[in-house]
Structure 1
Amino acid sequence: MEQDKEISKIEEPISEYGRFSYADYLTWQMEEMVELIKGKIFKHTAAPRVNHQRLSLKISSELYNILKGKKCEVFASPFDVRLPVKSKRNEDIDTVVQPDICVVCDPEKIDELGCVGAPDLIVEILSPGNNQKELHNKYEVYEESGVKEYWVIHPNECTLLIYNLINGKYQASKLFTHGDVVKSDAVEGFQLDLTEIFENIQ
C-alpha cells in the first residue's frame, strides 16, 4: 500500500499525514514498532540500550513474583495498550501505546490483542531520543485515560519519579534514587529498593 510506504518514512509526528485509528494500525505491515498517540504516529527509537533492558527485566521479575496467583498481571513491551476515549470500537480508538511495563488488575481489559483500557500501573524507562514522548505526550494520555500510577525511570541518572492520579490529575512524588525504597499505591505489595534496582547501572 502507498499509505504504508509513506508511513514508514515518518520519524516525527507530522500533521499533514492526517489522523489514524487503531483500525488503521492493524492493517500496517512495518518492520519497526510504532505507537499511535491521539491519532499521530510515533516511531520507536533504536533497540533499547543495555541499562534499559537490565532495569526492565529486574522490575518485571519483581512484579511477576509479587503477582503470582493474583488477579493482577504484569506485561512487558512489546504489548499493545489501547486507550479508548469515545468507545472501544477499533475505528474510534486513536491511542495505542507500548509501555515498557504495565500491570492490569481487571481481567476484562485483556484480550488476544493486548489491553483495552487503562492499566493500573505503567512503568516507562527513558531511552535517548524518547524523553519528550514519554514526559509530555504519554503523560497526557495516561492522565486522561485514568492510569492510576505512572512511574518514569531515568537510567542514566538512576532516578525514579512517580505520578499518582488524584481527582483526575497527576501529582508528582519527590525524585527517588539510591537509598530509597518506593512503594506502589496502585499495586498492593509492590515495592522496590532502588539501591538494588540501580546496582550495576552505569
Structure 2
Amino acid sequence: MGVANENQNDMTYEEYVTWDNGERCEVLEGQIISMAPSPLPEHQDISMQLSIEFGSYVRGKNCKAFAAPIDVYLFEDANKEWMDDRVRNWLIPDLIVVCDPNKIKRNKIIGAPDLVIEIISPSSAKIDRMDKRLAYQQAGVNEYWIIDPANQIVEVYLLKGQSLELANVYDKEDAVPVHVLENLKIDLRDVFPEQEAD
C-alpha cells in the first residue's frame, strides 16, 4: 500500500484528479483505505469470468456492468451538474451493475450501484467485509457480493431496510441467483479456477 499524501485524513476529489503519478486509491471519509498493487492472476481470472457472464446478460438491456478500475462516488447526487471538489468518499469495486443511466458519467459512477462485487485477498478482507460493506449499506447498494478465491465461496448480502444482511453463502458447485437482474444465475464452476492438487 502506497501513501499519496502526508495528511491521509483530508484526501479530496480535487486532490485525487490532479495526481500525475497514475496511482489510484479508495477513500472513505477522506481517509485512504486502499492503494493496492496490480491484482494477482487468480483475481483477474475471476474478474474476467464474471465480466463475461454479467456483460453478456446485460447486453441490450438498461443495466450496465463495469469492471475495475472505475471510480464510484457513492454519496453524490447523479442529478447535479458537477461534483463538489470536497468529495471525500469514492471506491473502486471489482465489478458493479448500474441500472440508472443517470448515474453513468464519462469517467465515473455517481451514486450507489445496484450490485457491487468485491474479490477479496488476505490483505483486503477486513476492509471489504467491514469498511466497504458499511459504506455500501449507507449508500443504499441493493446487493453486495464478497468473493473469496482462497476458499472458493461467495457471500451474498442483500439490502433489507437500511441494512446489508448476509442472505447466503455459496461454494464452487453452486449457481448464485442475481437478485437485481431477473432470471440470471452465475454458475460458480465457470468462475472459480480449478485448484491444482498439492
Q: Would the TM-score normalized by the shorter structure come out above 0.5? A: yes
Deviating more after overlay: 122-131 vs 59-68: 122-131
**1:169 maps to which residue?**
163
* Amino acid of the structure 2 residue aligned with 1:100: D
Deviating more after overlay: 24-33 vs 123-132: 24-33
**2:21 maps to which residue?**
30
Deviation sequence 1:84-120 (CA, Å, 0-9, x none): 2689632342111110000100000011121000000
- Asked whether the equivalents of residues 9 and 32 of structure 2 are also in contact (C-alpha less than 8 Å), the reply is no
Alignment of 1:71-90 (within 5 A): 71-84=62-75, 89-90=83-84
- Residue 48 of structure 1 is aligned with which of 33, 39, 57? 39
Which 4+ stretches in 1 moved above 3 angstroms?
85-89
**1:97 maps to which residue?**
91
> In structure 2, how many angstroms separate the alpha carbons of the residues matched to 1:143 and 1:38?
15
- SS class of match (2:146): strand
**2:151 maps to which residue?**
157
> In structure 1, how many angstroms separate the alpha carbons of the residues matched to 2:3 and 2:168?
39
* Amino acid of the structure 1 residue aligned with 2:166: A
Q: TM-score, normalised by structure 1?
A: 0.86
Listed as ranges, the gaps of 5+ residues in structure 1 are 1-5, 11-15
- Residue 130 of structure 1 is aligned with which of 124, 145, 160? 124
> In structure 2, how many angstroms separate the alpha carbons of the residues matched to 1:25 and 1:36?
10
- Residue 4 of structure 2 is aligned with which of 8, 18, 31? 8
* Amino acid of the structure 2 residue aligned with 1:78: P
- Asked whether the equivalents of residues 20 and 94 of structure 1 are also in contact (C-alpha less than 8 Å), the reply is yes
> In structure 1, how many angstroms separate the alpha carbons of the residues matched to 2:52 and 2:77?
35
* Amino acid of the structure 2 residue aligned with 1:8: A
Listed as ranges, the gaps of 5+ residues in structure 2 are none
Over the matched positions of the two proteins, sequence identity in percent amounts to 31
- Residue 200 of structure 1 is aligned with which of 177, 180, 194? 194
- Asked whether the equivalents of residues 63 and 98 of structure 2 are also in contact (C-alpha less than 8 Å), the reply is yes
- Asked whether the equivalents of residues 21 and 39 of structure 1 are also in contact (C-alpha less than 8 Å), the reply is yes
Report deviation, 1:135: 1.2
- Asked whether the equivalents of residues 49 and 127 of structure 1 are also in contact (C-alpha less than 8 Å), the reply is no
**2:103 maps to which residue?**
109
* Amino acid of the structure 2 residue aligned with 1:21: T
Q: TM-score, normalised by structure 2?
A: 0.88
User: 1:41–1:68: structure 2 CA closer, same or farther, 3 Å change rule?
Assistant: same
- SS class of match (2:10): coil
- Pairing 1:187–2:181 present: yes
- Pairing 1:143–2:134 present: no
